Amino acid sequence: MSKKTTPKKTSKKSTREIENGAIILLILMISIISAIIGGYIGYFLKLS
Protein backbone atom coordinates (compact mmCIF):
# COMPACT_ATOMS: atom_id res chain seq x y z
CA MET A 1 0.00 0.00 0.00
CA SER A 2 2.84 2.40 0.79
CA LYS A 3 4.17 2.04 -2.78
CA LYS A 4 0.74 2.94 -4.17
CA THR A 5 0.35 5.97 -1.90
CA THR A 6 3.79 7.45 -2.70
CA PRO A 7 3.11 8.05 -6.45
CA LYS A 8 -0.19 9.72 -5.54
CA LYS A 9 1.69 12.14 -3.29
CA THR A 10 4.22 12.89 -6.03
CA SER A 11 1.42 13.37 -8.55
CA LYS A 12 -0.25 15.85 -6.19
CA LYS A 13 3.07 17.69 -5.82
CA SER A 14 3.55 17.74 -9.60
CA THR A 15 0.04 19.11 -10.14
CA ARG A 16 0.72 21.83 -7.57
CA GLU A 17 3.99 22.67 -9.34
CA ILE A 18 2.15 22.80 -12.66
CA GLU A 19 -0.48 25.11 -11.15
CA ASN A 20 2.26 27.37 -9.75
CA GLY A 21 3.95 27.43 -13.15
CA ALA A 22 0.65 28.30 -14.84
CA ILE A 23 0.09 31.15 -12.38
CA ILE A 24 3.60 32.45 -13.04
CA LEU A 25 3.04 32.21 -16.80
CA LEU A 26 -0.26 34.08 -16.48
CA ILE A 27 1.43 36.84 -14.47
CA LEU A 28 4.21 37.09 -17.07
CA MET A 29 1.72 37.21 -19.95
CA ILE A 30 -0.36 39.90 -18.20
CA SER A 31 2.75 41.98 -17.46
CA ILE A 32 3.98 41.65 -21.06
CA ILE A 33 0.56 42.56 -22.50
CA SER A 34 0.23 45.53 -20.14
CA ALA A 35 3.74 46.69 -21.07
CA ILE A 36 2.91 46.45 -24.79
CA ILE A 37 -0.36 48.35 -24.29
CA GLY A 38 1.44 50.98 -22.20
CA GLY A 39 4.10 51.31 -24.90
CA TYR A 40 1.46 51.85 -27.61
CA ILE A 41 -0.39 54.41 -25.46
CA GLY A 42 2.86 56.29 -24.76
CA TYR A 43 3.77 56.16 -28.47
CA PHE A 44 0.41 57.59 -29.55
CA LEU A 45 0.58 60.24 -26.80
CA LYS A 46 4.03 61.27 -28.09
CA LEU A 47 2.65 61.48 -31.64
CA SER A 48 -0.29 63.60 -30.51
pTM tops 0.75, yes or no: no
**Distance (Å, rounded) from C-alpha 5 to C-alpha 14?**
14
In degrees, rounded to 5, the angle at the alpha carbon of residue 28 between the alpha carbons of residues 40 and 17 is 170
Q: What is the pLDDT of residue 48?
A: 77
Q: What is the pLDDT of residue 3?
A: 56
Q: What is the pLDDT of residue 29?
A: 97
Instruction: Give average pLDDT by consecutive 10-residue segment, the chain, 48 residues.
Output: 56 79 95 96 89
**Distance (Å, rounded) from C-alpha 27 to C-alpha 33?**
10
